[in-house]
Structure 1
Amino acid sequence: MKAADSNRAGSAPGLWRDTDFRRLWVGQTASQFGAQATQVILPLIAVVSLDAGSGRLGALRAVEQAPILLLSLFAGAWVDRRRARSVMVLADCGRALALGAIPAAYLFGLLGLPVLLVVALLVGVLSVFFDVAYQASLVRLVDRERLLQGNSALEGSRSAAQIGGPALGGALVSLFSGPVAVVTGAFFFALSSVSIWRIRGREQLPERGDGPVRVLRQIQEGLRFVTGNSSLRAVGAASALFQFWFAALMTVYLLYLPRGLHLSGTAIGLALAAMGPGAVVGSLLAARLPGRFGYGRVLVYSAFVADGVMLCVPALQGSAAVTLPVLVGVNLLFGTFGQLVNVTMMAVRQAVTPVRIQGRVVATINFAGMGLTPVGSLLGGFLAGHWGLRTSLLVTAVALSLSPLFMAFSPLARLGRHLPYEQEPGPPSVCRHQTGDARTVSEP
């Protein structure tokens, strides 16, 4: 590595002096605020304004998550051949316009579940492309040695969004109405697109070879790389177990809070927002603990704590004065240790992946980890309708422990304090921050 790069890697404030990274951080933060607010507002519109039952709420969540299964692999190959900045800008502009259709439909008396389903589908499709692009863009902006710091900063902003997004969305639904509250999400997506559009570093597109690159061949390359690497296989499998049961749990959870515990929209927003402060702490810990105790030990123990604490939720009953503080504490712990797992897993994935296929590996892991979330959401709605809210919540909370149990017996548990970085063959194919040896799952 060049001396200048070494100096930058050794100076902690160096990453924040980078104007392009700051613009990416601001844009990603705004986008996460929009996403977090929307994830609360759309279900609350369905439950509170449209009186949707468990089956319809499960269908709404499944429709929003279905593009992960259908489009992730294609999105990875597509993003690897294009500038990540352009993909992110177009995706967030599209999400802002899609959400704007809800207040328009309300004004014309057309708002109903079909409109919500269409908007949820559009938002889900565009979210797939944005999430792949922003995770792939980080490796084009910072050096390999700064990935953990960069991930910690971006995940810290996602944590801040988890504080403000749900609380703001729930409060607006409670004070005004869902169609008015959804404008908040549209505003944040628009702000994100403006900030990311201002990134000035020019990305170099990958070499395309002598003939046209076939998307199917690129997808296969990403699949082969993930299945051929024991650490990535374990990341994908652990992610799949967690995301499937977390999707089922959240469908029941969003019904349990207003109907089982009789919480208001504001209280629901505050309860969900409690994950945010914990996630801020988790992001900070992720920059230090893996290097001190080992990546494997941090992953396994943190996952057991994060998933195990959710077992407290089905036991709650009584007034909001009693249940709300407990929910805040549970979500605080879940946010802290869940985020610690998330950031550590992303560092593992990025370390063992060559930069030229980062987009495809992100997409393949997302496909494996989150592809079955629509089925999980439908299962959660089915269980809530047939077994009751409390029993369904207990079953799905217990099933969350399958993910850390798998990790404990996987190659991830054997990772030490240093990761085996993948050396990039050939000349670099990225922008100005890339050096010769330079070199991400929504939930853990």
Structure 2
Amino acid sequence: MPSTSSSPAAVPGAPSTLWRDRDFRRLWVGQTVSQLGEHTSLVVLPLFAVLTLHTGAGQLGALRAVEQAPILPLSLFVGAWVDRWRPRALMVAADAGRALALAAVAVAGLLGGLGLPALFVVAFAVGALSVLFDVAYQASLVRLVARDQLVRGNSALEGSRSAAQIGGPALGGALVTALSAPIAAAAGASFFTLSFLSIRRIGRRESVPERPAHPPRIGRHIHEGLRFVAGDPTLRAVCLASAAFQFFLSAVTTCCLLFLSRELRLPGTVVGSVLAAAGPGALLGSLLAARLPGRFGRGAVLLSAAVLGDGAFLLLPALHGSPAVTVPALLAVNVVFGTCGQLVNVTLMAVRQAVTPDGMQGRTAATINFAGMGLTPLGSLLGGFLADALGTRTGLLVTAAGMLLSPAVMALSPLGRLGRTLPAPPDTPAATGAHDRDR
């Protein structure tokens, strides 16, 4: 159903008013700093384990798996909750919980009690609350602005998320190396506190889908979301491509952290800077996502960007020599990956939101998140296993080759045939015509 907001941002045909809407800016600020805190904390704990506790590849893979493990049991339930309740209230609760968890780690670390068991506990808690926030923010935008503002608003939110996803590791690496793990954890807690304050200040009452007198049980609600995604060819393809990408990206990341720090012997600050190189690329990708799909067709852009961005990792195992040679090459690879990855991400998000009715936004996002991010713990374990069994260089080559499975899925699905226009939701009269035009 369309948004019921009466603010200027919700007025159809007035996209220029989006950034003048104070509540949208508060959502954007809150989401941005929350994502920065999330991705900073995701690298603070593994780098602390590698550089300070000298953990092996298997332990590092297990730690990253624990960070990502809550996705599997929680995503579908969170999606059902989001479609029933107010997403912003759930976002505020998630921010408060993560701030407290990281603050507790900071205190324990300063008192000398920060060890591997504590890192496992905090990683799981932060991961669980991140699942809640990530699903809720995707549904929150739909209830804050009108449908004709979704592409612009989603591009802004996804642009900041992707930039934080890449910039967070750089900040985390710098904080752990230059200061200490407890101080880095305290910085992460401050990010979540800022997000809590910003989102809580949103004054507009968000719309909530009408609830029947006897709402279905949570299990049936979840089943409806699963059936909806599985029954739509476009959403099914998004789900499978996301699963392949996230699984192998998680494996590549585990191998890459070991490869950069042990094979190439780069310090933590350099590792963080290399990973951050995708940040400028993500910004460029956001700009390209507003132009290229409408000009060349969404399918052509998705396939070319996915092949180029994911395939760039195949160059990493060939790197040898001094930092003067390897660091520029690493920076170039990450810029390409950031640009292409952001282009794919924003394009896919727009397609997903376009074909999904408002009352299914939370469950659709959660289902795709469940299928995609739910496999990341297994990917982390695979990366650690391959690095141990085959060596970090060979393990990185194998996992990087697996990244190309995602564009292969797109090529064999309706995503590869999308044209310049976005498809419409299946329950609208324009749906069939939009799909025909895209072919």
TM-score range (shorter-chain normalised) is over 0.9
Pairing 1:17-36 to 2, within 5 Å after superposition = 17-36=20-39
**1:412 corresponding residue in structure 2:** 415
For residues 375 and 111 of structure 2, the distance between their equivalents in structure 1, rounded to whole angstroms, comes to 36
For residues 129 and 275 of structure 1, the distance between their equivalents in structure 2, rounded to whole angstroms, comes to 26
For residues 7 and 188 of structure 2, the distance between their equivalents in structure 1, rounded to whole angstroms, comes to 40
**1:431 corresponding residue in structure 2:** none
Is residue 125 of structure 2 the alignment partner of residue 122 of structure 1? yes
For residues 219 and 7 of structure 1, the distance between their equivalents in structure 2, rounded to whole angstroms, comes to 29
For residues 186 and 339 of structure 1, the distance between their equivalents in structure 2, rounded to whole angstroms, comes to 26
Structure 1 contact 159–275 (Cα < 8 Å) conserved: no
3-state SS in 2 of match to 1:80: helix
What's the CA shift for 1:315? Answer: 0.9
The aligned length equals: 425
More deviation in 266-275 or 105-114? 105-114
For residues 271 and 13 of structure 2, the distance between their equivalents in structure 1, rounded to whole angstroms, comes to 43
**1:237 corresponding residue in structure 2:** 240
Q: Check 1:70–1:136 CA distance in 2 against 1; reply closer, same or farther (3 A cut).
A: same
What's the CA shift for 1:265? Answer: 1.1
Q: Check 1:369–1:7 CA distance in 2 against 1; reply closer, same or farther (3 A cut).
A: closer
3-state SS in 1 of match to 2:266: coil
For residues 163 and 346 of structure 1, the distance between their equivalents in structure 2, rounded to whole angstroms, comes to 18
More deviation in 291-300 or 131-140? 291-300
For residues 7 and 174 of structure 1, the distance between their equivalents in structure 2, rounded to whole angstroms, comes to 45
One of 165, 169, 193 as aligned partner of 1:166: 169
One of 153, 157, 176 as aligned partner of 1:154: 157
For residues 237 and 335 of structure 2, the distance between their equivalents in structure 1, rounded to whole angstroms, comes to 27
Q: Which amino acid aligns with 1:228?
A: G
Pairing 1:124-139 to 2, within 5 Å after superposition = 124-139=127-142
**1:270 corresponding residue in structure 2:** 273
What's the CA shift for 1:110? Answer: 2.1
Structure 1 contact 162–272 (Cα < 8 Å) conserved: no
**2:59 corresponding residue in structure 1:** 56
Q: Check 1:395–1:326 CA distance in 2 against 1; reply closer, same or farther (3 A cut).
A: same
5+ residue gaps, structure 2: 429-439
For residues 11 and 323 of structure 2, the distance between their equivalents in structure 1, rounded to whole angstroms, comes to 50
What's the CA shift for 1:235? Answer: 0.4
Structure 2 contact 9–18 (Cα < 8 Å) conserved: no
For residues 155 and 287 of structure 1, the distance between their equivalents in structure 2, rounded to whole angstroms, comes to 12
Structure 1 contact 294–415 (Cα < 8 Å) conserved: yes
**1:436 corresponding residue in structure 2:** none
Structure 2 contact 250–380 (Cα < 8 Å) conserved: yes
Identity across the alignment (%): 64
Q: Residues 365-422 of structure 1: CA distance to partner in whole angstroms, max 9, x if unpaired?
A: 1111121111111111111111100000000001100110121111111111112222
Structure 1 vs Structure 2 CA RMSD: 1.9
Structure 1 contact 162–275 (Cα < 8 Å) conserved: no
Structure 1 contact 152–284 (Cα < 8 Å) conserved: no
Q: Which amino acid aligns with 2:257?
A: L
Q: Which amino acid aligns with 1:370?
A: M
3-state SS in 2 of match to 1:109: coil
3-state SS in 1 of match to 2:84: coil
Structure 1 contact 253–393 (Cα < 8 Å) conserved: yes
What's the CA shift for 1:20? Answer: 1.0
Structure 1 contact 309–330 (Cα < 8 Å) conserved: yes
Q: With structure 2 as the length reference, what TM-score do the two structures score?
A: 0.93
Is residue 399 of structure 2 the alignment partner of residue 396 of structure 1? yes
For residues 9 and 279 of structure 2, the distance between their equivalents in structure 1, rounded to whole angstroms, comes to 33
What's the CA shift for 1:160? Answer: 3.8
Q: Residues 68-126 of structure 1: CA distance to partner in whole angstroms, max 9, x if unpaired?
A: 11110001001111111110011011111111122222233321111000000001100
Q: Check 1:157–1:114 CA distance in 2 against 1; reply closer, same or farther (3 A cut).
A: same
For residues 386 and 180 of structure 2, the distance between their equivalents in structure 1, rounded to whole angstroms, comes to 29
Q: Residues 1-36 of structure 1: CA distance to partner in whole angstroms, max 9, x if unpaired?
A: 999989955444311011111000000111111122
5+ residue gaps, structure 1: 426-444
Pairing 1:367-386 to 2, within 5 Å after superposition = 367-386=370-389
One of 169, 182, 186 as aligned partner of 1:183: 186
3-state SS in 2 of match to 1:362: helix
What's the CA shift for 1:167? Answer: 2.4
Structure 1 contact 67–121 (Cα < 8 Å) conserved: yes
What's the CA shift for 1:294? Answer: 1.1
One of 315, 333, 358 as aligned partner of 1:312: 315
For residues 318 and 45 of structure 1, the distance between their equivalents in structure 2, rounded to whole angstroms, comes to 26
Is residue 198 of structure 2 the alignment partner of residue 195 of structure 1? yes
**2:286 corresponding residue in structure 1:** 283
Pairing 1:75-154 to 2, within 5 Å after superposition = 75-154=78-157
Pairing 1:69-80 to 2, within 5 Å after superposition = 69-80=72-83
For residues 368 and 177 of structure 1, the distance between their equivalents in structure 2, rounded to whole angstroms, comes to 35
For residues 8 and 169 of structure 2, the distance between their equivalents in structure 1, rounded to whole angstroms, comes to 39
For residues 382 and 130 of structure 1, the distance between their equivalents in structure 2, rounded to whole angstroms, comes to 30
For residues 152 and 92 of structure 2, the distance between their equivalents in structure 1, rounded to whole angstroms, comes to 24
Q: Check 1:424–1:191 CA distance in 2 against 1; reply closer, same or farther (3 A cut).
A: farther
What's the CA shift for 1:38? Answer: 1.2
Q: Which amino acid aligns with 1:316?
A: L
**2:299 corresponding residue in structure 1:** 296
3-state SS in 1 of match to 2:70: helix
Structure 2 contact 386–395 (Cα < 8 Å) conserved: yes
What's the CA shift for 1:154? Answer: 1.1
For residues 167 and 243 of structure 1, the distance between their equivalents in structure 2, rounded to whole angstroms, comes to 20
Q: Check 1:114–1:6 CA distance in 2 against 1; reply closer, same or farther (3 A cut).
A: closer
**1:214 corresponding residue in structure 2:** 217
Structure 2 contact 251–384 (Cα < 8 Å) conserved: yes
What's the CA shift for 1:158? Answer: 2.3
**1:38 corresponding residue in structure 2:** 41
Q: Check 1:163–1:371 CA distance in 2 against 1; reply closer, same or farther (3 A cut).
A: closer
